Amino acid sequence: MTLRGSSCVAALATVILTVAPHAQTPTPNVKKIGNAIREYQDSNIHAVIAYEYSHRVHVGKWLLVETAIQTKENLKFERTDFSLTTPTGTRIPLASEERYLADAESITSLQQNARVWGRNVAYYFVDKQSAGFRFFALPGEGTVTADIVTNTYGPAVLTLYFESQNQEWKGGNYSLTIDNGKARAVIPIELK
């Protein structure tokens, strides 16, 4: 091999090693359905998330994730059972209803803009008979629940909202964790 050939090989190896750590690593039990739709399934839980709008537009402080969950047995999930982990490893809990209501103007704008990208996440389940739950509601939108109940007869469907601690969401690889101690799903979320 010539000196020039060795230089090319060394340069290529440097590029590969530099890029590799930034690539999203495959997550067990997760199937990528589209650009921003992920499906997690194991013997205890089946979850589908869609974050089409947030995938593309995440300049504000709110992140919206449409979610559907079905479990092998009847299980209860509380608000604290949902969290988002940032690329730096920081855990962000689900936003509170109080914070959501306090920023109603931004939430309304987010919902209006995201509507065009909305997905019926119940579609990805064999039994499409779903139960809708709300952890969040603006005045006039309905009743808010403190927890949801899942079962084997169709998914529980809800929209999750996370509030950035820095008033913005940087691009990168995040993960949504759903964990009530009996069923657990960790689902990657990529923001462009």
Going from the first residue of the chain to its last (192 residues), give the mean pLDDT of each consecutive group of 10, the final group possibly shorter.
Answer: 46 37 63 93 96 84 95 96 96 96 93 85 87 94 94 92 90 96 96 89
Domain spans in the chain, listed from the N-terminal domain onward: 27-191
3-state secondary structure of 92: strand
Cα dist. 85→88, 94, 178, 186, 190 in Å? 8, 11, 11, 10, 11
What pLDDT was estimated at residue 18? 36
What pLDDT was estimated at residue 59? 76
What pLDDT was estimated at residue 185? 97
Question: Cα 166 to the chain's mean position, in Å?
Answer: 18
Instruction: Report the distance separating Cα 88 and Cα 67, nearest Å.
Output: 23
Q: Quickly list H helices, 103-170.
A: 104-114
In 3D space, the residue among 66, 23, 39, 37 whose CA is nearest the CA of residue 185 turns out to be 39
Domain 27-191 matching CATH 2.60.40: the answer reads yes
What pLDDT was estimated at residue 26? 62
pTM: 0.84
Cα dist. 157→27, 50, 70, 77 in Å? 23, 11, 9, 12
